[in-house]
Amino acid sequence: MSASVLYSTPLTLIDGTETTFGQFAGKAVLVVNVASKCGFTPQYAGLEALHQKYQDEGLVVLGLPCNQFMGQEPGAEAEIESFCQMNYGVTFPLSVKVDVRGKHQHPLYAQLTKFKSGLLPGLIKWNFEKFLVSPDGEIVDRFASTVEPESGEIVQAIEKTLAADAA
> Domain 3-166 falls in which CATH fold?
Glutaredoxin (3.40.30)
Tens-digit pLDDT profile for residues 92-149: 999 999 999 999 999 999 999 887 665 556 789 899 999 999 999 999 999 999 999 9
Dihedral of CA 167/141/50/15: which sign?
Answer: positive
R_g (Cα) of the chain, nearest Å: 14
Torsions phi, psi for 122 (to 5 deg): 60, -120
Q: What are the DSSP calls for 138-163, one per residue?
A: -EEEEE-TTS-TTSHHHHHHHHHHHH
Report the predicted TM-score, pTM, of the whole model to 2 decimal places.
Answer: 0.94
Which residues are tagged catalytic?
38
23 vs 36, 60, 87, CA distance in Å?
A: 25, 11, 27
